[in-house]
Amino acid sequence: MSSFDIGLTGLDAARKGLDVVANNIANAATEGYHRQRVEFTPAFARQDGNTMMGGGVDISSVTRIIDNFLEQEILRQQSLLSQSSQESSMLKSIEISLGELGSGIGLSVAIDDFFNALSDLSAHPDQIAYQNQVLSAGEAMAGQFRTLGDFLNDLELQIKTQVENVVDQINSLADQIASLNENIQRIEMNGSEANNLTDQRDQLIMQLSELAGVQTQAREFGVVDVSVGSVPVVTGTTSTHLEAGLKTETQLGITPAGATVYETSIDGGQLGGLLALYNGTVDDIHTDLDTLAASIIQQVNQYHVQGVGSEGSFSELSGRTMPTGSIGDFEPPVSSGSVFIRLTYTDPVTHAQTITRHQIDIDPTTDTLTTVAAAISAITGLSAIVSSNRLQIQADSNYKFDFIPAALPEPTDTTFTGSPPPEISVSGIYTGDENQTFTFTVVGSGEVGNGTLELEVRDGDNNLIDTLNIGSGYAAGDLLDFDNGIKIAVGSGTLNAGDSFEVDVFANTDTSGLLSAIGMNTFFSGTNTSDMSLASDMMDSPGRVASSMGTDLTDNGNVQQLASVRNLEIDDLDSMTISQFYRKLVTDVGQQLSAKQTVQTNNEALMQSLINQQSNISGVDINEEAAQMLVFQQMFQAMAKYLGTVQNTISTLYEIF
Amino acid sequence: MSGILNTTYNNVSYSLARQSSVFFRLQEQASTGDRINRPSDDPSDAYRVLTLDTENRSLETYIDKLSDMSNTLDTSSSIIQQIVSAINQVKVNTTQVTSGVYDQASRDRTAEAINDILEQIIQLANTQYNGQYLFSGSNTSTVPFVAEYSNGEITAVNYQGGQDSRSVEVAPGVSAVAYFNGDEMLRSDQRDTPVFEGTTGAAAGTGTSSVTGNVWLTVTYNGTNYELSIDDGATSVVVPTSGNENVAVTDSRTGKVLYIDASGITTTGVELVRVPGTHDIFNTLISMRDILKNGRNLSDAQIQELRTSSIDSLDELSQLLLQKEVSIGSKSGFLENMKSNLESLKSNNQDESEQLKQVDIAQVAIDLSRQEALYQMSLAVAGKIMSLSLLDFIQ
């Protein structure tokens, strides 16, 4: 009864064809589904006499319509898109937090406000309103730095946590892919097709490619191996887990679980983006901001420690709490040099002042705060202690101290042989770059204001820098200026050839950097973005804003220097000014974000095109499926009709009997 | 027509997402009026805008300071004018005494008037502007001139302000002085040879004297030698019989020296020694008042001569102050010019910054309507395509 067999194979084929069509339509909107096709082959033929007769139809297979090369390209582009999207998103939040050009007030305004407040103070150095303005602008700027520092710290923590979450997801997906590989292998080894399982697994690999760049390798029986970076996370039916961790203090990486072979750079996916941000972009921005904050702190403090505010010289001063041990370990670093303390004694009865200067030599390799305190305590009128690792200097009654660079009112090392000798008075603030000693030698002999009496002035290198007339034409007591900020006046008296005196002049009274490092009369405390703030003893003491550096403590020399910090081209800032460096940082972030957004847009367009191509090849077209359905429906109807015809034929035969 | 459901869906959602993003950007530009709302909108122009904004904030500070400094200088100039008027008043009073027939009582009244004017000038010289003393140099919080009194009369005026003038940066790299050292301001500094107004025969020595203004030289005779004093006899120098062309006579109160050629001294007496080019306004007025009061019992002729020479000193000071006023006026003018320059620079910067930042609103409006049309078209096409199906035609 081969006629019935043929009919039955036809009916079965039509039914299975309809099943595949139904499955396709049912999965028309299923993500990752590939259209399936039933493959028919003519059934085994039989010989009827000399004629070969067909045996109906066989269903050879149900196959997925797929372009493997295209699928690989989609995986790759998906990873790149995911990475660029991750980086864009983070850079966008960094750009927003910087707050430049938007409605918020960014750090650039705070920096400008601080230096403008100093500039304002230079016109009114003793007025409390302007001093308060400097303090509030300084605190506002430090606050902005801290906010940014906190934001970047949080962002780094957030990235680290996100990397751990992504690694967990990768591990979970690897487990599922390995499990599906096992099922697919079992089914395919039995000679069947595991199309839907394969689609499920491929969809998981697609999800994995969003998390990290993946490489796949097809093996027999439908199994696929998957690697992330150089780590094979799925090998056949087994999976290997990953772990996230710090390779160095600032470098985050991934490693196979239990090992310490960290990879800090992964191409593609969220993981690639997150690692690139943590180890590169965010780290660079954080480092740059820290450098900027440290430079402002260091430059401002370096000038501030040498000045005094309208409160005048100090009766006592405290530094900040330092780590124990050698001074050489302090941050910012202390170098070999000296600290020059200016000490003023005021006679309680006559109110006459005696001003002296004392040099404390600093050797960072051997000195500690205790040895420095001992050296200061050896100066009559001062005592210093180290309490809780803070240096504290206290002046005795009737004494005051400061670190201003103004020349002492009297010369040192005087050798006068005339009688009576003249009184020499010195004033002014040295405008040169290096501390040195000027030597004044008398040429000629006689009374000041008479004859051809002159003073030769030589600098520390014994170069003759000026010759001053103190003979006829010079009225004793008149000021003599030799164009470096220092002025002297020679009183009435007699001088002889070869008489001499010296004047020590100072450009820097803290050549070691110790005062800045230990927070002695500093404006800011802290060393980086996160801990920058006003020095605690400045907060409520506007009169401590060190505006002056001249002998009478009323000038605006120091605050002018402080205001000029904004114009300094600082080595640590790649020879840029503070504002230039920050602007570059901000626009670099903008540039990077703009570039990433362009890459993201391109990736999206490319991905869109690839997905369309994939849809054209592997997607379900309802109309096409409907047409197929009509074919199978009519095939089924025709085969049923055929079976009816065969039945009628046989019935006709039965009627003969 | 492929008619594939997913392709249509992908295309529609991709296009709508792209158009929404463009819509959002255009809407932000329209609502803020700015093309650059964040650095990534145009990094290179953003750098320029940030630079211009920083420059403008700095210029604003400089302009405020220039305004402040310029007003300070104008006030200083006005104070100097008032001091000059006061000096002129003294000259008028003194000239009346010189030209008319005045007895001692009248001279005393004039002396009192000069004393009042002296008080007035001290007050003027101690003027504060914005809480800062104008003529106290860098020490603007300390009153610059303090008078010493004896029997209700000013005997000396001491300067206790800062020695240096206060210089302030008023533009990048440009500094200007707005608070002057009052001592220097009210004192002439063109030292000339001392002039001996008396008849003792004393003359200026060869040395450069350090005394300033007017000093009274007292010549006495001890029976052998003349003795010279410039501190009313507190200390004196014996004139040697030889080598007396340059005798140093020191004022024990100030330590300053007057070099005297004593070779021509023929008689004792008290005489006024003027050092032209070193007068300060206070000592000159004190000296004039004392001459009029005639505490040293000078003859009418001497008083007449001294009054005339004092008027010369006042003229010298008046001239000096007028020069200072002109100098301050020109400084103020310079600062005003600089302020206009900086304001114009700021205005240019602002224009440039706004031009860089601002969006072309007309262009945004056109782009918005174009995007709207595209958006509607996307939706219409998607609806049309997705509604077509073979299933509708299968019975």
pLDDT in tens, A54-74: 888 988 888 888 898 998 899
Residue A104 at interface with chain B, using a CB cutoff of 8 Å:
no
**What per-residue confidence (pLDDT) applies to B377?**
87
A455 pLDDT more than 80? yes
Q: Which of B4, B44, B71 to mutate to test the interface with A (most CBs of A within 10 A)?
A: B4
The structure's pTM equals 0.86
Average confidence (pLDDT) over A623-641: 92
Q: Do A127 and B132 touch (CB under 8 A)?
A: yes
Average confidence (pLDDT) over A285-313: 95
Closest Cα in chain B to A548? B138
Closest CA to A440 of A420, A429, A454: A454
Residues of chain A with C-beta less than 8 angstroms from the C-beta of B130 = 124
A304 pLDDT more than 90? yes
Instruction: Answer whether B286's CB lies under 8 Å from B154's CB.
Output: yes
- Cβ neighbors of A437 (< 8 A, separation 6 or more) are A412, A460, A502, A503, A504, A505
Q: Do B5 and A621 touch (CB under 8 A)?
A: yes
Q: DSSP secondary-structure letter at B226?
A: E
Q: Give the β-pairing of A337-346 and A242-246.
A: unpaired
**What per-residue confidence (pLDDT) applies to B3?**
45
**What per-residue confidence (pLDDT) applies to A316?**
94
Q: How confident is the model at residue B141 (pLDDT cuts 50, 70, 90)?
A: confident
Q: How confident is the model at residue A148 (pLDDT cuts 50, 70, 90)?
A: very high
Q: Do A101 and B5 touch (CB under 8 A)?
A: no
Q: Do A590 and B37 touch (CB under 8 A)?
A: no
Q: How confident is the model at residue A1 (pLDDT cuts 50, 70, 90)?
A: low
Average confidence (pLDDT) over B163-182: 88
Average confidence (pLDDT) over A134-156: 94
Q: How many CA atoms lie within 13 A of A466 on its CB side?
A: 16
Can you tell me the distance from the alpha carbon of A152 to that of A141, in angstroms, rounded to the nearest whole number?
A: 17
Residues of chain A with C-beta less than 8 angstroms from the C-beta of B132 = 124, 126-127
Q: How confident is the model at residue A104 (pLDDT cuts 50, 70, 90)?
A: low
* CB nearest to B163's CB, from A427, A588, A590: A427
Q: How confident is the model at residue B47 (pLDDT cuts 50, 70, 90)?
A: very high
Closest Cα in chain B to A592? B40
A373 pLDDT more than 70? yes
Strands (E), B5-129: 128-129
Closest Cα in chain B to A597? B40
Q: Do B3 and A621 touch (CB under 8 A)?
A: yes
Q: Do A100 and B390 touch (CB under 8 A)?
A: no
Q: Do A626 and B394 touch (CB under 8 A)?
A: yes
Q: How confident is the model at residue B316 (pLDDT cuts 50, 70, 90)?
A: confident
Chains A & B: contacts with CB separation below 8 Å:
206
**What per-residue confidence (pLDDT) applies to B102?**
66
Q: Do B65 and A120 touch (CB under 8 A)?
A: yes
Q: What is the mean pLDDT of chain A?
A: 91
The CA–CA distances, whole Å, from B342 to A120, A255, B70, B82 equal 16, 61, 14, 32
Instruction: Answer whether B308's CB lies under 8 Å from B341's CB.
Output: no
- Count of helix runs (H) and strand runs (E) in chain B: 7, 14
**What per-residue confidence (pLDDT) applies to B359?**
87
Average confidence (pLDDT) over A138-154: 94
Q: How confident is the model at residue A620 (pLDDT cuts 50, 70, 90)?
A: confident
Q: How confident is the model at residue B101 (pLDDT cuts 50, 70, 90)?
A: low
* CB nearest to A122's CB, from B6, B168, B191: B168
Nearest-CA distance B142 → chain A (Å): 9
Closest Cα in chain B to A614? B7
Q: How confident is the model at residue B235 (pLDDT cuts 50, 70, 90)?
A: very high
Q: What is the mean pLDDT of chain B?
A: 87
Q: Do B43 and A594 touch (CB under 8 A)?
A: yes
Instruction: Answer whether B160's CB lies under 8 Å from B144's CB.
Output: yes
Q: How confident is the model at residue B1 (pLDDT cuts 50, 70, 90)?
A: very low
User: Distance from CA of residue A231 to its chain's centroid?
Assistant: 29
What tokens were used for B336? 């005003």
pLDDT in tens, A346-358: 999 999 999 999 9
- Count of helix runs (H) and strand runs (E) in chain A: 12, 28
How much is the ipTM here?
0.84
* CB nearest to A608's CB, from B10, B191, B389: B10
H/E segment holding residue A589:
helix A578-618
Q: Do A475 and B209 touch (CB under 8 A)?
A: yes
Instruction: Answer whether A87's CB lies under 8 Å from A276's CB.
Output: yes
A480-489, A541-550, A612-621: range with highest mean pLDDT: A541-550
Q: How many CB atoms lie within 10 A of CB B195?
A: 15
Q: Do B390 and A626 touch (CB under 8 A)?
A: yes
A230 pLDDT more than 90? no
Residue B49 at interface with chain A, using a CB cutoff of 8 Å:
yes
What tokens were used for A446? 């006689």
**What per-residue confidence (pLDDT) applies to A46?**
75
Q: Do B390 and A584 touch (CB under 8 A)?
A: no
A112 pLDDT more than 70? yes
Average confidence (pLDDT) over A85-104: 87
Q: Do B50 and A583 touch (CB under 8 A)?
A: yes
Q: With a CB-CB cutoff of 8 Å, which residues 245-284 of chain B face chain A?
A: 246, 248, 250, 255-257, 259
Can you tell me the distance from the alpha carbon of A214 to that of A199, in angstroms, rounded to the nearest whole number?
A: 17
Instruction: Answer whether A139's CB lies under 8 Å from A534's CB.
Output: yes
Phi-psi region of B255 (alpha: psi -120 to 50; beta: other; left: phi over 0): left
What tokens were used for A139? 């605190």
Q: Give the β-pairing of B132-133 and B237-238.
A: unpaired
Can you tell me the distance from the alpha carbon of A221 to that of A229, in angstroms, rounded to the nearest whole number?
A: 25
Closest Cα in chain A to B141? A126
Nearest-CA distance A391 → chain B (Å): 32
Q: Which of B28, B210, B252, B354 to mutate to test the interface with A (most CBs of A within 10 A)?
A: B210
**What per-residue confidence (pLDDT) applies to B2?**
42
* CB nearest to A476's CB, from B4, B41, B210: B210
**What per-residue confidence (pLDDT) applies to B349?**
93
Q: With a CB-CB cutoff of 8 Å, which residues 437-476 of chain A face chain B?
A: 447, 449-450, 472-476
Q: With a CB-CB cutoff of 8 Å, which residues 473-502 of chain A face chain B?
A: 473-478, 491-492
A240 pLDDT more than 50? yes
Instruction: Answer whether A125's CB lies under 8 Å from A547's CB.
Output: yes
**Could you tell me what percent of chain A has a pLDDT over 70?**
100
- Cβ neighbors of A578 (< 8 A, separation 6 or more) are A111, A292, A295, A296, A565, A566, A568, A570
* CB nearest to A554's CB, from B2, B7, B162: B162
Q: DSSP secondary-structure letter at A278?
A: I
Instruction: Answer whether A9's CB lies under 8 Å from A627's CB.
Output: no
**What per-residue confidence (pLDDT) applies to B4?**
64
**What per-residue confidence (pLDDT) applies to A134?**
96
Instruction: Answer whether A530's CB lies under 8 Å from A149's CB.
Output: yes
Can you tell me the distance from the alpha carbon of B377 to that of B371, in angstroms, rounded to the nearest whole number?
A: 10
Q: How confident is the model at residue A600 (pLDDT cuts 50, 70, 90)?
A: very high
**What per-residue confidence (pLDDT) applies to B314?**
87
Residue B210 at interface with chain A, using a CB cutoff of 8 Å:
yes
Residues of chain B with C-beta less than 8 angstroms from the C-beta of A588 = 43
B97 pLDDT more than 80? no
What tokens were used for A619? 């997607």
For A231-269, give the DSSP string.
Answer: EEEEETTEE--EEEEESSSS-EEEEETT----B----SH
H/E segment holding residue B195:
strand B195-196
**Could you tell me what percent of chain A has a pLDDT over 90?**
71
Residue B169 at interface with chain A, using a CB cutoff of 8 Å:
yes
Q: DSSP secondary-structure letter at B391?
A: G
